[in-house]
Amino acid sequence: SAGFGEETHEGAVLEDRKGSNTKFKYLSAKILEMGGEASIVEMKFLDPKDEREVVSRFRTQALEELSQLKQDCAQVLSELKNGGAIFTEDQSEQVKKMIRRYSKARSRNHFGLSTAQDVEKGLYAIISTARQASSELSAQLAKAMDKAVK
């Protein structure tokens, strides 16, 4: 944020990658549609050290975000194993939030961090556990119903 007079201006630093200009133009148009101001500026670091520092900060932030998600996946899997693989409503909501967080983190992972793959594997393991628990519960309920109607 930078203050100019009484207004506050927000900004973002985004990596220039293949296809990013189209995305930047789309975002700019959306911001303008909503009554905001948008400018797309190309920036060049004069000192390579400064560029390395900025990239390092973004990389560290992405790694921290993904590492936290990886820990969250491990915690949910542990809870499911200890709780008989039955999903509570809270766990279900927690996993949905984790998937949304992963989606955002993945879109910002410009560094090919392998931790992103670990998180993805963890989320798929949770989904697999949920699918298996659901199938087992469904079979148990059907069996109970069969007994009830005999």
Q: How far apart are CA 143 and CA 140, in angstroms?
A: 5
Q: What is the pLDDT of residue 84?
A: 63
pLDDT of 28 reads 85
Has this prediction a pTM greater than 0.75?
no
Whether the Cβ atoms of residue 40 and residue 24 lie closer than 8 Å to each other: yes
CB distance 20 to 14 below 8 Å: yes
The residues that bridge with 7 in the sheet, in sequence order, are: 4
Residue ranges of the chain with per-residue pLDDT less than 50: 1-6
Q: What is the pLDDT, as a whole number, of residue 41?
A: 82
User: Residue 4's pLDDT is what?
Assistant: 42
Which helix (H) or strand (E) segment is 77 a member of?
Answer: helix 48-82
Q: Which residues pair with 9 in a beta bridge?
A: 2
pLDDT at 5: 45
